[in-house]
Amino acid sequence: MKAGSLRGLSIGYRIEQKDIKNNDDGSYSLKKIDLQEVSLVTFPANEDALVADVKQLSKRDVEATVRDVFGLSARQAKRFIADGWSAVVRDERDDSETVKKLSDLLNQITNSGDHHVR
């Protein structure tokens, strides 16, 4: 992204007919969508669907995101960033419910072949 080789976005979504509003100019507005995926692409179908800027994340930003999204402690997030999931599970001394839930989720994703977390 920083080099500019990928600048386009592609989205996949579902709509219901009742959620479409026809405009006077021939275009239409989507009132509500069910967003299925967002992908980076070289050539977007809509030429205006471009990435304008790429944010540089610090290690601290990533750790905070891991804590917020997965419910990990600060210590667990640091281990995860440094050495991956196995470090969190291997080094966890308490029988944390969060670690159990995350471990089950990761095993389910890995074993199902479905790599989309919902």
Q: How would you write the chain as a 3-class SS string?
A: CCCCCCCEEEEEEECCHHHEEECCCCCEEECCCEEEEEEEECCCCCCCCECCCCCCCCHHHHHHHHHHHHCCCHHHHHHHHHHCHHHHHHHCCCCCHHHHHHHHHHHHHHHHCCCCCC
Query: Tens digits of per-residue pLDDT, 13-70?
Result: 888 777 777 888 888 888 888 888 889 998 998 899 998 888 887 888 888 888 887 7
In a domain, 118, yes or no: no
In this structure, the answer to whether residues 24 and 63 fall within a common structural domain is no
pLDDT one-digit tens code per residue, 82-115: 777 666 666 555 556 666 767 776 666 666 544 4
Q: In this structure, is residue 36 part of a structural domain?
A: yes
90, part of any domain:
yes
Are 48 and 73 within one domain?
no
Domain that holds residue 26: 1-54
Say whether pTM exceeds 0.85. Answer: no
Question: Total structural domains in the chain?
Answer: 2
Task: Give domain status of residue 117, yes or no.
Answer: no
Do residues 71 and 102 both lie within one domain?
yes
